[in-house]
Structure 1
Amino acid sequence: MSHPTDHLNQQVWDFVYAYDAAYDRAARAAGLSSAQACLLDHLESGSRTMGELAAELLCDASNVTQLVSRLEGGGLVDRVPDPADRRVKRVSITQAGRGARREVHRAFDFPTARLGRLTEQEQRRLSELLAKTLAPDPDRVPRG
């Protein structure tokens, strides 16, 4: 016998998969991998160290090194020593990188197309429900 949340759980996974697949298609349309496009998104608000990028992207530093090297080779990011600690490398997005990022966002129509199927009231309700599910659990004891 299935649990009442099984169907909802499957719908959430289906939505996440469809969202990720659409983002991947948009990135490929701009000549990038989805990981490269995501890295460019993280640089839009300012430069980051390689370690900060690894933490934000939830991946190993070696993966970030590979991503940055490919983006740097395409002129989409710059990597320079941090002025405060020359052992640390800072990565920043270039004008060409901003253009590639805009291209990905133009091609990524999934949120607008799918959420546009909902009325304004349904969108507000979905937003409220998502906020509730994503809020920190007050009963959970932080690890540390």
Structure 2
Amino acid sequence: MPGHPRVDTGQLMELLSVSLGAYYGDFTAAAADQRLTASQAKTLSVLRRGPAAMRALAGTLACDASNMTGIVDRLEKRGLVRREASPGDRRVKNVVLTPEGERTIDAIRASMHATTAGLATLDAEERATLHALLSRVFAPTPEGD
């Protein structure tokens, strides 16, 4: 492409690594302000998309099912999530975000000042382009992961 420097995959991967590190640091600090670990906050964020079975949560968060149980137990104790039977299989427990959990993840996102400031440097067209590119690069697999 004329006028655009050639960027190879390694350079993109490095920039993604730096970007995700900055995002994760901002997210972790905001979660700590809510007295949550990053894993607990990430669980709330995932549940924002809708209820999920424990096994699916563990897969999405790339953690052991027993670790997921501990995370959900602590979130449930604080009233941020609740467990309910799956409509399709009463033996399966879905984890559901409570209204307090929604308020908490909203507060975390609102406290991510470095990320918000970085995104604010983009105009509407650039934001739409970034959204489209990230959606394409990180499109869900056919299994929904």
TM over 0.5: yes
Aligned to 1:49: 53
- The higher radius of gyration belongs to 1
- AA aligned to 1:45 is R
Contiguous gaps of at least 5 residues in structure 2: 1-7, 141-145
Aligned to 2:76: 72
Counting only pairs closer than 5 Å after superposition, residues 102-117 of structure 1 correspond to structure 2 as 102-117=106-121
User: Percent sequence identity over matched residues?
Assistant: 37
Contiguous gaps of at least 5 residues in structure 1: 137-144
- AA aligned to 2:21 is Y
- Residue 121 of structure 1 deviates from its aligned partner by 5.4
Aligned to 1:28: 32
How many residues in Structure 1 have an aligned counterpart in Structure 2? 134
Q: What is the RMSD computed on CA atoms of the aligned residues?
A: 2.7
Scaled by the length of structure 1, what TM-score is found?
0.74
Q: Is the 8 A contact 2:26 2:112 kept in 1?
A: yes
Q: Is the 8 A contact 2:26 2:115 kept in 1?
A: no
Counting only pairs closer than 5 Å after superposition, residues 1-144 of structure 1 correspond to structure 2 as 8-120=12-124, 122-123=126-127, 126-127=130-131, 130=134, 133-134=137-138
Scaled by the length of structure 2, what TM-score is found?
0.73
